[in-house]
Structure 1
Amino acid sequence: MSQAVLDGVRDLLPTLRERADEAERLRVVPEASIKEIAETGFFKLLQPTRYGGLESSPIDFYEGVRLIAGACGSTGWVSSVVGVHPWQVALFADEAQQAVWGNDPNVRLSSSYAPTGKATLTEGGFRLSGKWSFSSGCDHCQWVLLGGLVFNEDGNVVDFRTFMIPRSDYQIIDVWHMVGLAGTGSNDIVVDDVFVPEAFTLSMGETGQCKGPGQAVNTSNLYKLPFHSVFTTTICTPIIGMAYGAYEEHVDMQQKRVRAAYLGEKASLDPFAAVRIARASSDIDAAWALAMNNIREEMALVEKGEEIPLGLRLKVRRDQVLGTQRAIDAIDALFEASGGRALANGTYLQRAWRDAHAGRVHAANDPERALQMYGAHEFGHKVDPGMY
Structure 2
Amino acid sequence: MTAAPAAAVLGRARGMRDLVRSQAGDSERLRTLSPAIVDQMWASGLMSAFNPVPAGGVEPSFTEMIETWIEMAWQDGSFGWVGIANLPSSFAAACYLPDDGFAEVFTAHDNRVTMGGQFFPNGQGIATDGGYRLSGSWSFGSGTGHSQFVAAGFLPMDDGEIRWVSDGVPDMQVAVLPREEVTFTDGWYVQGLKGTGSYDYRVDDVFVPAGRTFPLFCRTPRRGASPATRMGLMPVTAAGHAAWALGVAKSMLDDVGALAATKFRMSDMASLASRPTFQKGLAHHTAAWRAARLLVLDAFTTAEAAVDSGADLTPMLRADLRVAAVYATDTARQCAEWAHLVAGTDAIREGSRLERAFRDIYTGTQHAFISEKVAIDAAQIWLGIIEDQPGL
* TM-score scaled by length of structure 2: 0.92
* Gaps in structure 2 of 5+ consecutive residues: 165-170
| Counterpart Cα distance in 1 of 2:312 and 2:42 | 34
Bigger shift: 45-54 or 270-279? 45-54
Pair 8,229 (structure 1): closer, same or farther in 2 beyond 3 Å:
closer
Q: For 1:178-193, what aligned pairs fall within 5 Å after superposition?
A: 178-193=190-205
Moved over 4 A (4+): none
Q: Distance in 1 between matches of 2:10 and 2:254?
A: 19
Q: What RMSD, in angstroms, separates the aligned Cα atoms of the two structures? A: 1.6
Describe the superposition over 1:81-114 as per-residue Cα deviations: whole angstroms up to 9, x where unpaired. 1011222111121221111111321111112112
Identity, in percent, stands at 26
- Which has the larger displacement, 178-187 or 286-295? 286-295
Structure 1: how far apart are the matches of 2:225 and 2:382?
Answer: 33
Q: Is the counterpart of residue 300 in structure 1 residue 316 in structure 2?
A: no
| In 1: Cα distance, 2:72 partner to 2:209 partner | 36
Deviation at 1:244, TM superposition (A): 0.7
Gaps of 5+ in 1: none
Matched-pair contact (CA < 8 Å) for 2:348–2:355: yes
Number of the residue aligned with 1:229 = 235
Does 1:350 pair with 2:355?
yes
1:370 paired to 2:374: yes
Q: Residue 324 of structure 1 aligns with which residue?
A: 329
Match in the other structure for 1:72: 76
The structure 2 residue matched to 1:150, chosen from 134, 156, 179, is: 156
Residues 1:91 and 2:96 aligned together: yes
Maintained 8 Å contact 2:33/2:78:
yes
What residue identity is the alignment partner of 2:229? Y
The CA distance in 1 between the partners of 2:283 and 2:355, in whole Å, is 20
My pick for the range that moved more, 140-149 or 41-50, is 41-50
User: 1:39 pairs with 18, 43, 65, which one?
Assistant: 43
Q: In structure 2, what is the equivalent of residue 250 of structure 1?
A: 256
Query: In 2, distance between residues paired with 1:61 and 1:148?
Result: 28
Correspondences of 1:200-279 after superposition (within 5 Å): 200-204=212-216, 207=218, 210-211=219-220, 215-262=221-268, 264-279=269-284
Distance 2:189 2:341 in 1: 26
Per-residue CA distance 1:330-378 (angstroms, 9 max, x = gap): 00011111111221112211211110110111110212x2222222222
- Residue 285 of structure 2 corresponds to 280
Residue number among 124, 129, 136 corresponding to 2:130 in the alignment: 124
Partner Cα separation in structure 1 for residue 102 and residue 318 of structure 2: 27
Shift in Å, 1:286: 1.9
- TM-score, normalised to structure 1's length? 0.93
1:56/1:156 CA distance change after superposition, 3 Å: closer
Distance in 1 separating the partners of 2:382 and 2:54: 41
Q: How far did residue 386 of structure 1 move?
A: 3.8
C-alpha displacement at 1:252, in angstroms? 0.8
Q: What's the offset of the Cα at 1:320?
A: 0.6
The farther-off stretch of 89-98 and 243-252 is 89-98
Query: Contact between 2:261 and 2:273, CA under 8 Å: does it hold in 1?
Result: yes
Cα distance, 1:217 vs structure 2: 4.1
Of the three residues 148, 162, 183, the one matched with 2:174 is 162
Deviation at 1:384, TM superposition (A): 5.0
Structure 1 residue 380 displacement after superposition: 1.7
Output one character per residue of 1:129-170: Cα deviation in whole Å (capped at 9) or x when no partner.
111111111121111111112222133454221111112211
- Secondary structure of 1:131's partner? strand
**Would you say the 8 A contact 1:81–1:235 is kept in 2?**
no
